[in-house]
Chains A and B, each alone.
Chain A
Amino acid sequence: MTEAPQLGQLEKHLRSRRDNGRKLLIPYVTGGYPVEDWPRLVEGCAEAGADAIEIGIPFSDPVMDGTTIQESSSLALAAGADPLDILGQVSKIDVDVPLIAMTYYNICYHMGHRRFASQLSNAGISAAILPDLPLEEAGHWTKAADAEAVETILLAAPTAPDERLVRIVERSRGFVYGVGLVGITGERSELATSALEMARRLKAITDKPVVIGVGVSNPQQAAEVSEVADGVVVGSAVIRRVLDSGNIDDAVEFVAQLRAGLDAG
């Protein structure tokens, strides 16, 4: 019998908080947007009660993202954001919660799997999400990531049959990212019924933290889905507030509201 892999830093941290009765909040910040202030937005999210923070490394062709994340990515790229520069800035961010890199596979592929993994590790990043790298294609990356103790978080989607969910949950590290709806990132006025169903299906087969993202747009929705799930990722609703106001204050305030919503829920 093979031994279960040792828990990574992110998974240990999230399990411990969950097991203490806390619902997990993981906001998303686009690396490089807003140009000067994004590291402060990451710090602001931590202070406002985030349990971990996802940092996007902008890619030219983000096929899983809706208009909000696309726009912030384009603005960051237009301002000259590049992956190594973003990781260099991440290494100077002083927060007490784990950081997660989110980017598309070509950024990693182009840099080289081992080099990308070591760059993440050197920047103090615990885990990675590559939304266009499904289980079947992930072998080269997970080998490099495992060697650097970078946890690879896999997405689980409502379209997956049960037997596939089992395999995804088995290989996912850090947490399992349940996709809340059949679609791309972006705010929705109502929580999709598929979000709760996704959370139920995942909770039924794993003890790993189950976090739901995509379409979770406000504190009410976050609390609603967290009645079943262990927590939420919120991206577009955070970034839209930066795009609307041109500064990070509304976004930080919103993260605090999400925290309050989850704690009250």
Chain B
Amino acid sequence: MTSTVSATNFMDDPDDNGRFGKFGGRYVPETLVPACAELEVGFREAWADQAFREEFEQLLQTYAGRPSGLTECANLSEELGFRILIKREDLNHTGSHKINNVLGQTLLAKRMGKSRIVAETGAGQHGVASATAAAYFGMDCVVYMGEVDMERQKLNVFRMELLGAEVRPAMSGSRTLKDAVNEAMRNWVATVESTHYCLGSVMGPHPYPWMVRQFHSVIGDEASKQCDELIGGAPDYVVACVGGGSNAIGIFSGFANSDAQLIGVEPEGGAAVGSAVPGVVHGSESYLMQDEHGQVLEAHSVSAGLDYPGVGPEHAHLADIGRARYESVNDREVLEAFELMSRSEGIIPALEPAHGLAWMVKAKEELAGKTVLLNLSGRGDKDVAQVQAIKAGDPAALSTMRP
């Protein structure tokens, strides 16, 4: 347990070109360049405005239910041989960390005079959060979701519709998160004058990776204080799952300048940082799963929320400078971790954070005797039907797993 503050700030704001080191930037069709620039200015002004910050904090407290708790997992700790703490983002309104970013972006969109939001979603968590915020603020909301994901997350599709959003299937390519982002961007290109694109992760063109990080930094701020109170400093390890990487960036931001090791866990079939090949898609330069010609590969993961071939540029940077380490786990290990946490702690995690626990199980020798903080980014209700079908051997459900 250490809390030495380093002189270097490892998670600085990006430079004027939206770069974290050599990653990031703004690679968008010309039509969107002015909107991105306008959004950057709008966000800078809002983030510097005390009234905006207070309204955002108020919403996080009274609507999202923050602060979220920090739970000590005594049973799991005993079973695995190291001390496990979990940050309870699963207890937020709508069931995941996604609500932080969405409340921030819709508040900003309203301030900037936009009447409509468009969003993409993988597992449906960001879509549900977007539909929720749109309902709250009285805005129109369209959510693009891969056709495959609509099938494996039917309940979230119905939730979004109940909340008054229109869910549109993304029918191209792998019909998962990547294609939902393509469709959302195409829609934004056509509606940019009235619409805010409520991007759901720390990816996309500048200022999104930075703005989304700032909206999620509340996770790390809270967790850092909670760790100070509970264990008198930072834990030895901070672990989070990484698809685009928003929950990981959120919790890392509270510990980047501590001595804690930062571990991002990617699905084996969607390990962009693991591929170590840089590329440009969806607005930024980062690591990207691609073939020898630069065609973007389709990711494969049991978890719709991590089924993405790219990763946020700041993760690429943190990997590049060695401040964070990226590991991967396979679908079988994830399902085992999903059941392990359910049985031993009475907490059904989403499949996404189950990746973090799966790595912890694999790394238990390295972690022996240490204190490990896992960001439990969402609850598993949305995944229960899928896991039930997988366990029953349903071929359609099994096909969502990586062979």
What residues make up the interface of A, taking CB atoms closer than 8 Å to B? Answer: 59-66, 70, 74, 77, 82-84, 105-111, 131-137, 154-161, 164, 168, 179, 182-184
Contacts and interface: CB of A to CB of B under 8 A. Distances in A.
A63 B185 contact: yes
Interface string B8-36: 00000000010000000111111111110
Contacts of B28: 132, 134
B354 to A, nearest CB: 28
Given A109-B294, A132-B29, 14 more contacts: A59-B294, A59-B295, A61-B178, A63-B186, A64-B29, A64-B186, A83-B293, A106-B281, A107-B293, A109-B278, A110-B293, A131-B29, A134-B29, A137-B26
A77 B280 contact: no
A77 B291 CA distance: 12
B192 interface: yes
A216 B190 CA distance: 16
Contact of B280 (A109, A111, A131, A155): A109
A-B residue pairs, 9 tightest by C-beta:
A110-B294, A183-B190, A157-B31, A155-B30, A60-B295, A157-B30, A60-B296, A64-B29, A63-B185
A254 B332 CA distance: 54
B290 interface: yes
A66 B183 CA distance: 10
Given A136-B17, A184-B186, A184-B189, A160 B30 contact: yes
Contacts of B296: 60-61, 106
Given A61-B178, A106-B288, A155 B294 contact: no
Interface in B170-203: 172-173, 178, 182, 185-186, 189-193
A137 B25 contact: yes
A161 B34 contact: yes
A134 B280 contact: no
B279 interface: yes
Interface residues of B, number: 35
Contact of B279 (A74, A109, A164): A109
Contact of A154 (B30, B173, B190, B280): B30
16 contacts: A59-B294, A65-B186, A74-B173, A106-B294, A109-B279, A109-B280, A131-B29, A131-B30, A132-B27, A132-B29, A134-B28, A155-B29, A156-B30, A157-B29, A159-B30, A159-B192
Given A60-B295, A184-B186, A70 B172 contact: yes
A168 B293 contact: no
A183 B279 contact: no
Contacts, number: 114
Contacts of A154: 30
Contact of A136 (B26, B35, B185): B26
Contacts of B30: 131, 134-135, 154-157, 159-160, 168, 179
Nearest to B193: A182
A85 to B, nearest CB: 9
Given A61-B178, A61-B296, A70-B172, A182 B29 contact: no
B29 A111 contact: no
Name the residue in B27, B178, B182, B191 with the highest tally of chain A Cβ atoms < 10 Å from its Cβ.
B27
A233 to B, nearest CB: 14
B197 to A, nearest CB: 12
A94 B323 CA distance: 54
Contacts of A133: 27
Contacts of A157: 29-31, 33
A65 to B, nearest CB: 8
Nearest to B283: A132
B244 to A, nearest CB: 15
Given A61-B173, A61-B296, A182-B190, A110 B279 contact: yes
A65 B201 CA distance: 23
B189 A107 contact: no
A156 B279 CA distance: 25
Contacts of A179: 30-31
Interface string B350-380: 0000000000000000000000000000000
A154 B278 CA distance: 24
A44 B381 CA distance: 58
Given A134-B27, A157-B30, A64 B189 contact: yes
A182 B192 contact: yes
Contacts of A84: 293
Contacts of B185: 63
A134 B26 contact: yes
B35 A105 contact: no
Contacts of B186: 63-66, 184
A63 B189 contact: yes
B33 A63 contact: no
B34 A159 contact: yes
Contact of B33 (A59, A83, A160): A160
Contacts of A184: 186, 189-190
Contacts of B293: 82-84, 107, 110-111
Nearest to B293: A82
A18 B213 CA distance: 50
Interface string B133-150: 000000000000000000
A59 to B, nearest CB: 7
Contacts of A159: 30-35, 192-193
Task: Name the residue among A61, A62, A136, A168 with the largest chain B CB count within 10 angstroms.
Answer: A61
A182 B189 contact: yes
B327 to A, nearest CB: 25
A134 B31 CA distance: 9
A261 B38 CA distance: 40
A107 B294 contact: yes
Contacts of B191: 182
Contacts of B288: 106
